[in-house]
Amino acid sequence: MNGWTAAAAIACGLLLSGTGAAQEPGALVPGPPEDIFMEVTAGPGGEPVLSEDEFLLQLGGYYRFNFVCPAGKGDFTGFHLEVDDLLANAHLRVVSVGGMEMYMQGLSFRAIECDEPGSARFSFHPMRRGVYQIHVRDSLDPPQEAFGRFVVE
């Protein structure tokens, strides 16, 4: 490991170790999140097909949404996931891509796109009741789309 790599590793470790301290003193640490999965595959015309199109969630529950893309093969054949309204009404905790975890502690992200087979996931607490759209599209112009929803009771 060269000097720059070692310094970067130390800096990342310090940065990530500080994120846990951002919680309020005495805040309860939740148990493990409930995993929910949505796999997107290509239909006969290449359109996105969702394995599940509705997820029932409880207000304040703790969930880990797993977005699985077994079909991506490059920049123009992958799928793009957006869940903007859910993210605006939930407390985001951890985003994971491959073996890497990013501790968000309430921050947000715009989208998840898979250009190769793999998965990404994020854990969250829904903070408002409502119905929140799941939007998945491909990279064509115009895009082929699929929709689902989160229902928070």
Kindly report the CATH number assigned to the domain that includes residue 74: 2.60.40.420
Say yes or no to pLDDT of 4 above 90: no
Residues 6+ apart with CB under 8 A from 101: 94, 95
Range of the domain at 97: 32-152
**125 in a structural domain:** yes
Rg (CA), the chain: 17
Structurally, how many domains does the chain consist of? 1
- Segment 62-71 mean pLDDT: 90
Specify if 14 maps to a domain: no
Do the domain assignments include residue 19?
no
Residues 6+ apart with CB under 8 A from 95: 101, 102, 104, 109, 120, 121, 122
Asked, for residue 22, whether it belongs to a domain, the answer is: no
Q: Is residue 89 part of a domain?
A: yes
Is the pLDDT reported for residue 12 higher than 50? no
67 lies in some domain: yes
Q: Cα–Cα distance between 39 and 139 in angstroms, integer?
A: 17
pLDDT tens track for 79-121: 999 999 999 999 999 998 888 888 877 677 888 888 888 889 9
Q: How confident is the model at residue 141 (pLDDT cuts 50, 70, 90)?
A: confident
Does the global pTM surpass 0.85? no
Residue 107 lies in a domain: yes
